[in-house]
Chains A and B, each alone.
Chain A
């Protein structure tokens, strides 16, 4: 039988398992939401003693610490296999992207292995984030002049 590409696409769709997108999104929603919920609990805890800014910083540091520990134990990666963006997008995912290569590349030495590989993902994030904030700072400063 002859098929045009469109028909073929439809056949592929029929034969392949049901779209994983919905399942992915549910995982991402509940795990990502759960991590933020934990963050909110930590933030309220720190707010008992500190102001908003410091409470936020301490929340980040605590989440990063928890991420480092669970990454070291190999748990974070296991959760990430299901949760996808739910474990990637929170700051714990950023921390995981730093801690994971640190452990993995130890064999290649502390400077060229660990020291440089920890910036694999954090490097671009910090670089472009910093550039964006610099540009915004310049604009904000210029806006104040007029």
Chain B
């Protein structure tokens, strides 16, 4: 059952992104940035958590989930250390994905050859 929801919710979130691209001509960078910020907002008003519990990776894998992670992380840090937490909580919670992207990208650059994009 969890798998079905992961597929449906994850697919649905991607369809919304596709509609944005097809109808508004937003560039990929804008779509991704918009998704992360929207994810922070949805998480802040408390709507994203129930979705994440229902759909698991269907909610956490799309970039909305990245925003959710930032919002949850900053709340946890504020609970633990008060005001300074607003400077550490967000990126700290998202550090795994960011660091993995950067490190694997640099390794890929080391190993890979740039080739014709055609």
B90 to chain A, nearest CB (A): 3
B118 to chain A, nearest CB (A): 11
Contacts of A28 in B (CB 8 A): 11, 14-15, 17-18
Contact A122 B101 (CB under 8 A): yes
Contacts of A126 in B (CB 8 A): 91, 98
A129 and B101 in contact (CB under 8 A), knowing A30-B11, A33-B7, A137-B85? no
Contacts of B70 in A (CB 8 A): 129-130, 132-133
Contacts of A59 in B (CB 8 A): 57, 60-61
Contacts of A60 in B (CB 8 A): 60-61, 96-97, 100
Instruction: Say what secondary structure dominates the interface of chain B.
Output: helix
A68 and B102 in contact (CB under 8 A), knowing A29-B12, A89-B63? no
Contacts of A90 in B (CB 8 A): 10, 14, 61-63
Interface check A79, CB cutoff 8 A: no
Contacts of A130 in B (CB 8 A): 70, 90-91
A89 and B104 in contact (CB under 8 A), knowing A39-B61, A43-B56? no
Interface check B37, CB cutoff 8 A: yes
Within 8 A of A (CB), among B63-118: 63, 65-67, 69-71, 73-75, 77-78, 82-83, 85-87, 89-91, 94, 96-98, 100-102, 104-109, 111-115, 117
| Range class of the A interface residue count | 35 or more
A67 to chain B, nearest CB (A): 8
Contacts of B14 in A (CB 8 A): 28-29, 31-33, 85-86, 88-90
B82 to chain A, nearest CB (A): 7
Q: Which of A57, A60, A71, A93 is most buried by chain B, counting CB atoms within 10 A of its CB?
A: A60
Q: Which residues of B contact A (CB under 8 A)?
A: 2-3, 6-23, 28-29, 31-33, 35-37, 39-41, 43-44, 55-58, 60-63, 65-67, 69-71, 73-75, 77-78, 82-83, 85-87, 89-91, 94, 96-98, 100-102, 104-109, 111-115, 117
**Interchain Cβ contacts under 8 Å between A and B, 16 examples:** A21-B18, A28-B18, A29-B15, A39-B61, A56-B69, A57-B97, A64-B104, A86-B14, A88-B17, A89-B13, A94-B101, A99-B104, A121-B29, A125-B36, A128-B36, A130-B70
The 8 A-B pairs with the shortest beta carbon distances in the complex, nearest first, are: A36-B10, A32-B14, A33-B11, A133-B90, A137-B86, A39-B57, A85-B17, A137-B74
Query: In the complex, given contacts A31-B14, A36-B7, A39-B58, what are 11 additional A-B residue pairs having Cβ atoms less than 8 angstroms apart?
Result: A21-B22, A33-B6, A35-B61, A57-B97, A65-B100, A122-B98, A124-B33, A125-B66, A137-B74, A137-B75, A141-B83
